[in-house]
């Protein structure tokens, strides 16, 4: 298993600003992901964070809004840019070691945009 | 389009009885299914999984059943304990296609009454 630490755990931000969320895994993992859980909704994949290259975004999510970095096999960041109240969600970092394995999750970042 | 559905948002069960959580999916390419448990202010925690080549997987008090023809899976918890009270998410993926994405249901809140 992998232990995933996310920070900040929560934040309240002004609209129009940006927030960067950090994700640290305690061991090297093959894949890292960023999910969003809007109030009352399921977890939705934003993108796969690729080490050393651009992230792979799912439909409906774009790099300009959610830039992602992954400089090595244990760390990734997600930035929520030019925030609006609609971006208020829980953002979750996830990691998988590859193949048919379960994904592990960080504790999430609860973002409120006012 | 919600490819994984959990139609019961909540379930209450007496301690010691069986809890049955249900999940339906629409994508016939899904071949790997997982259940996660989530406590408030924590990330989802992996509970149990099942490959499409099986119809049952058991781990202690937790058993997952898969009915591929009905595109339905269920999680049985027996006996239920108060500590099992949490939100349970069903998730599915298409490992055989090489996809990394996990599709989640909207969750079922289980309350085990002492």
Is A104 part of a structural domain of the chain? Answer: no
What is the rounded average pLDDT for all residues in chain A?
Answer: 92
**With bands split at pLDDT 50, 70 and 90, how would you rate the model's confidence at A99?**
low
The shortest CB-CB distance from B95 to any of A44, A100, A108 is to A100
- pLDDT at site B11: 97
Residues in B closer than 8 angstroms to A4, CB to CB, are 43
Strand-pairing partners, residue A72, are A75
What CATH number did the domain enclosing B12 receive? 2.60.40.10
User: Chain B partners of A44 at a C-beta cutoff of 8 Å?
Assistant: 104
Based on the number of CB atoms within 10 Å of its own CB, is A42 exposed (0-12), middle (13-18) or buried (19 or more)?
buried
Whole-number Å distance between alpha carbons of B114 and B97:
44
Tens digit of each residue's pLDDT, chain B (114 residues) = 679 999 999 999 999 999 999 999 999 999 999 999 999 888 999 999 999 999 999 999 999 999 999 999 999 999 999 999 999 999 998 877 667 778 999 999 999 999
Q: What is the pLDDT of residues A40-70, one digit of tens each?
A: 888 999 999 988 889 999 999 999 999 999 9
- In three-state secondary structure terms, B95 is helix
Q: What is the pLDDT of residue A7?
A: 96
B52 touches chain A (CB under 8 A): no
Containing structural domain, residue A14: 4-98
Residues of chain A above pLDDT 90, percent: 76
The answer as to whether A75 is a domain residue is: yes
The tally of domains found in chain B comes to 1
B45 contacts in chain A (CB < 8 Å): 105
The total number of structural domains that make up chain A: 1
Work out the angle at residue A93's Cα, subtended by the Cα atoms of residues A91 and A99, and round it to the nearest 5 degrees: 140
Strand-pair partners of A44: A36
SS3 state at A51: coil
The CATH number of the domain where A87 resides is what? Answer: 2.60.40.10
B97 at interface of A, judged by CB pairs closer than 8 A: no
């Amino acid at each position: 298993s992998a232990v995933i630490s996310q920070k900040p755990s929560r934040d309240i931000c002004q609209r129009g600003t940006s927030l960067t969320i950090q994700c640290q895994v305690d061991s090297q993992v093959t894949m890292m992901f960023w999910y969003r859980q809007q109030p009352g909704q399921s977890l939705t994949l934003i993108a796969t964070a690729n080490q050393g290259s651009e992230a792979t975004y799912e439909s409906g999510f774009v790099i300009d809004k959610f830039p992602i970095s992954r400089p090595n096999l244990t760390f990734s960041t997600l930035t929520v840019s030019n925030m609006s109240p609609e971006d208020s969600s829980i953002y979750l970092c996830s990691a998988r070691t590859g193949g048919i394995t379960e994904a592990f999750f960080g504790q999430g970042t609860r973002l409120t945009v006012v | 389009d919600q490819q994984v559905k959990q139609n019961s948002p909540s379930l209450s069960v007496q301690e010691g009885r069986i809890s049955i959580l249900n999940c339906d999916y629409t994508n016939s390419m899904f071949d790997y299914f997982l259940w996660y448990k989530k406590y408030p202010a924590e990330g989802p925690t992996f509970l149990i999984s099942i490959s499409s080549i099986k119809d049952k997987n058991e781990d202690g008090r937790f058993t997952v059943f898969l009915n591929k023809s009905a595109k339905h899976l269920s999680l049985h918890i027996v006996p239920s304990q108060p500590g099992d009270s949490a939100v349970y998410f069903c998730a599915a993926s298409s490992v055989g296609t090489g996809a990394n994405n996990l599709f989640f249901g909207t969750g079922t809140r289980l309350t085990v009454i002492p």
